[in-house]
Amino acid sequence: MTHYQSVDSLIQTIRQKLEHRPHLAQMFAQCFPNTLETTVEELDDSTTFVITGDIPAMWLRDSSAQVNPYIKLANEDTNLQRMLRGVIRRQASYILKDPYANAFNREANNNGFHKADLPPAGHWVWERKFELDSLCYPVKLLYTYWKTTNDPQVCDDLVHTMLWQIIKIMKIEQEHDSRSEYRFIRNVGPATDTLPFEGKGTRTNFTGMVWSGFRPSDDACTFGYLVPANMFAVVILGYMIELANKVYHDSELALQAESLRKDIEHGIQTYGIVNHPRFGRIYAYETDGYGNYNLMDDANVPSLLSIPYLGYRPVDDPIYQNTRRFILSKENPYYFEGKLARGIGSPHTEHGFIWHIALSMQGLTSTSAEERKELLHMLETTTADTDYMHESFHPDDPSRFSRAWFAWANSLFGEFVHMMVEEHPEELF
């Protein structure tokens, strides 16, 4: 296995700073390098294949989120740079193979969930659920890596072509009902695994936002405009403009990205805000542009909870704060409370189960010391004595959990602990 000196050094530093919290230090030492130790494979073609954990496929979203906490260490570690460049290149190659797929195989082996899906997926594809965030995460990874390292090798022609492909697909899916040929039908499994109306999804009105068939949970959207995913798109299109101007000197790419960004932002502000009788103006989770709204939040990111983390609005934004109060209340149908924890879950897992990802994200976006300390305690005491994060768990009995090996959750927990040590060390006593 490749040795990453900067990661080892950080773990030792965190251990020293958490001498008074030995259990938390041990959890960090297990969770933070989990992606590198168990899911990363550097290949002979200078790309990096990253599985999610217990599923042997590479999700564009998960792989980006799994390696994200290592970027800030990459300046001092050439092995990390090589690994991260490899992830970006493989993601770019996947998007150019099929921009509508969310998860891919290591090679064209026809493995995956897609065997009976219609229309049939290519042999590279593990699953072909179109999720808008799958086009956003690779751009965030690319941009953050480039800004951190100034590595000229990463912005090659393959990545440039990927950026153009993302623009093309987003523009088509702004007018999904009239322009898109994308369909997805799965005749086995739960209803959330397929799209209604012959695979096209429920009808949408043009808003400027980009349609998404599925959420980052891989569940079908109730309404086609997934608001947090469109917020993420606004952010990464800003990144794309900077890359177009400063790296590729491609004024047309910058122009197209700026036009698309303005359209989506207008759509969010015009169609994505609801007047709630208790919480005031809040962001909806989904809408169709016809006045129908889905008021909820899901644990998977992008979520409404993650708005400041994504960089769409600052944490003190009034509409975000209203939205945060709503989604962290029982008004959100996927907010659950138990004896040992309270937080956001997902219709993707058992009713009443809370997600470790959501607890870590709540901590990363919190402005309250008491809230952060409470969340850290909940994370520390709900691992079922494994010292690893899980997908979801029962808040009365954490031994009832899903996915013992879920690297994204481990990475995000590591990011939260690192933030606490660096920014709020006084709260750890």
Average pLDDT over every residue of 359-384: 98
Each residue's pLDDT tens digit, 147-194: 999 998 999 999 999 999 999 999 999 999 999 999 999 999 999 999
**pLDDT exceeds 90 at position 321:** yes
pLDDT tens column, 54-95:
999 999 999 999 999 999 999 989 999 999 999 999 999 999
Name the pLDDT band for 222 (thresholds 50, 70, 90): very high
Q: Which long-range contacts (CB under 8 A, 24 or more apart) does 188-193 make?
A: 188/116, 191/220, 192/219, 192/220, 192/347, 192/348, 193/218, 193/219, 193/220
- Stated length of the chain: 429
What is the span of the domain harbouring residue 387?
5-428
**Farthest-apart Cα atoms in the chain, separation:** 60
Q: Strand runs (DSSP E) across 110-201, as ranges?
A: 125-127
* Confidence band, pLDDT 50/70/90 cuts, at residue 262: very high
> Rounded to whole angstroms, how far apart are CA atoms 170 and 209?
9
Residue 367, pLDDT score: 98
**pLDDT higher than 80, residue 146:** yes
Given a cut of 90, is residue 213 above it in pLDDT?
Answer: yes
CA dihedral angle for residue 168, residue 241, residue 264, residue 367, rounded to 10 degrees: 130
Six-digit token string for 379: 């994370």
pLDDT score at 105? 98
pLDDT at 408 exceeding the cut of 90: yes
Write down the pLDDT at residue 68. 98
Task: Using the predicted structure, report yes or no on whether residue 1 has a pLDDT greater than 90.
Answer: no
Residue 372 pLDDT: 98
Is the pLDDT at 352 greater than 80? The verdict is yes
Q: What is the pLDDT of residue 180?
A: 98
Confidence tier at 348 by pLDDT (50, 70, 90): very high
CATH number for the domain that contains residue 9: 1.50.10.10
Closest CA to 375 of 393, 396, 350, 358: 358
Asked if 61 and 137 touch (Cβ cutoff 8 Å), the reply is yes
Q: What pLDDT does residue 183 have?
A: 98
Query: In the structure, what pLDDT confidence band is assigned to residue 310 with cuts at 50, 70 and 90?
Result: very high
Per-residue tokens: 365: 């976006």
Q: Which of 292, 410, 419 is nearest to 30 (CA)?
A: 410
Q: What percent of the chain has pLDDT over 70?
A: 100
Query: For residue 219, which phi and psi values (nearest 5 degrees)?
Result: -90, 150
Q: What is the mean pLDDT of the chain?
A: 98
pLDDT tens digits, 195-208: 999 999 999 999 99
With 90 as the cut, is the pLDDT of residue 231 above it? yes
In the chain, how many domains are there? 1
Name the CA radius of gyration of the chain, rounded: 20
Q: Note the pLDDT of residue 267.
A: 98
What local confidence, expressed as pLDDT, does residue 198 receive?
97
Mean pLDDT of the region 380-400: 98
